[in-house]
């Protein structure tokens, strides 16, 4: 067995770590920069801050924000709208529930802290919907349906619907009818498309379905002679809105194709993350099956905040390195830059956001 060699890290070109000195830190941005030279989760957070700042500073980079989890119920909605307002993101892919609960906030409704002494049976009877330690009143969601209906009245009945069209029109309603901030309001004002791939898996999806059925309720009742309301409902289930998810798919592909560089900032995982990333395979299989020759877009930057590890084999936990094998990301050897924080977004996202805003203010003062 050969003897060990005792190398010097500096001579080998290794990066030295530095003690985090709280006496020398005077801002969140300085704290995050210092954390990059520590270890474990702290280093991951510091690397996420630097990568996120790099993609935002890159004038040739379009940033896609993907959202899952109950982030608006968790009161992270203002962070999202602030990122839009400051031009940090140019497209959003989200779960429908997150946007619906954000709509509740946008129209002035409140969420409440859940007290463990209240049983879920009691909450149901009182019209409270529990999301872990927080409550959404059913009356909030009923009011959101009113806002959705108000918006749908503006649209032509034969107009093909898609999630980005509906979210844009909802943002217009918020901008014209409601005061205060909102995710869809900011997105509308900044012309940032908001896509909801699993649209029917949301309160808004149910609102649109019942809106379409409501247009036929009187006629259907007049035609059904037996079976009562159950028969009426089954007949109404044949009535579907003219919703086409492929309008979203192709609109998103058009948004990201041809961009010099792409960045993705992911909160959680799920459908929004994969739907946003699958644009490269979409273009690649189009080339293969249709005889085309179009350069598939790949992400140059990526930051993921999600507590899900990769060893469960689930998509939410898969690393950006794994995504390289699917052609979704630019390898680090070709300039790809990625960071992943395995943590609850409500813990680290606010820190990142405050650091980024401090950095923006400092840059504007120096310029």
For residue 366, with 0-12 CB atoms within 10 Å meaning exposed, 13-18 middle and 19 or more buried, which class applies? exposed
Distance CA(279)–CA(250), nearest Å, equals: 9
Per-residue confidence (pLDDT) for residue 157, from 0 to 100: 62
Per-residue confidence (pLDDT) for residue 141, from 0 to 100: 85
Average pLDDT of the residues of the chain:
91
Per-residue confidence (pLDDT) for residue 183, from 0 to 100: 94
Residue-wise pLDDT for 254-277, tens only, equals: 999 989 999 999 999 889 999 999
Q: What is the mean pLDDT of residues 207-231?
A: 89
pTM of the model: 0.93
Residue-wise pLDDT for 48-75, tens only, equals: 999 999 999 999 999 999 999 888 888 9
Distance CA(311)–CA(313), nearest Å, equals: 5
Q: Classify strands 111-113 and 134-137 as parallel, antiparallel or unpaired.
A: antiparallel
Q: What is the mean pLDDT of residues 267-288?
A: 94
Q: Does residue 211 carry a pLDDT above 90?
A: no
Query: From edge to edge, which strands make up the β-sheet containing 111-113?
Result: 111-113, 134-137, 128-131
Cα angle 75, 78, 81 (rounded to 5 degrees) comes to 140
Q: Does residue 87 carry a pLDDT above 90?
A: yes
Report which secondary-structure segment, H or E, holds 93: strand 91-94
Q: Pick from 75, 78, 49: which is nearest to 356 by CA? A: 49
Per-residue confidence (pLDDT) for residue 148, from 0 to 100: 86
Per-residue confidence (pLDDT) for residue 363, from 0 to 100: 79
- Rounded to 5 degrees, φ, ψ at 113 are -75, 135
Residue-wise pLDDT for 132-176, tens only, equals: 999 999 898 888 888 888 888 888 767 789 999 999 999 999 999
């Amino acid at each position: 067995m050969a003897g060990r060699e005792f190398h010097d890290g500096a001579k080998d070109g290794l990066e030295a770590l530095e003690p985090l000195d709280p006496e020398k830190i005077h801002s969140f941005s300085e704290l995050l920069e210092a954390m990059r030279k520590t270890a474990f989760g702290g280093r991951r957070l510091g690397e996420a801050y630097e990568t996120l700042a790099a993609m935002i500073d890159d004038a040739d980079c379009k940033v896609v924000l993907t959202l899952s989890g109950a982030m608006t119920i968790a009161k992270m909605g203002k962070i999202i709208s602030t990122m839009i307002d400051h031009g940090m993101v140019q497209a959003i892919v989200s779960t429908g529930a997150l946007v619906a609960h954000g709509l509740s906030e946008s129209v002035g409704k409140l969420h409440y802290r859940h007290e463990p002494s209240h049983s879920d049976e009691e909450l149901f009877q009182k019209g409270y919907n529990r999301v872990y330690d927080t409550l959404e009143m059913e009356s909030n969601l009923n009011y959101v349906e009113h806002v959705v209906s108000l918006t749908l009245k503006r649209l032509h009945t034969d107009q093909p619907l898609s999630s980005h069209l509906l979210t844009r029109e909802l943002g217009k309603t918020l901008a014209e009818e409601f005061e205060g901030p909102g995710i869809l309001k900011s997105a509308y004002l900044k012309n940032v498309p908001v896509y909801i791939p699993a649209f029917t898996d949301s309160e808004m999806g149910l609102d649109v379905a019942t809106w379409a059925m409501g247009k036929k309720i009187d006629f259907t009742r007049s035609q059904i002679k037996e079976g009562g309301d159950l028969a009426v409902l089954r007949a109404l289930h044949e009535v579907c809105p003219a919703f086409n998810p492929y309008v979203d798919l192709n609109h998103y592909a058009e948004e990201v194709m041809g961009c010099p560089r792409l960045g993705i900032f992911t909160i959680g995982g799920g459908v929004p993350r994969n739907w946003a990333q699958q644009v490269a395979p979409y273009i690649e299989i189009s080339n293969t099956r249709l005889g085309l020759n179009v350069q598939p877009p790949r992400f140059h930057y990526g930051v993921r905040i999600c507590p899900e590890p990769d060893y469960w084999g689930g998509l939410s936990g898969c690393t950006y390195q794994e995504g390289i094998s699917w052609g979704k990301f630019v390898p680090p050897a070709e300039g790809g830059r990625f960071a992943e924080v395995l943590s609850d977004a409500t813990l680290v996202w606010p820190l990142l956001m405050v650091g980024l805003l401090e950095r923006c203010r400092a840059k504007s003062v120096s310029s």
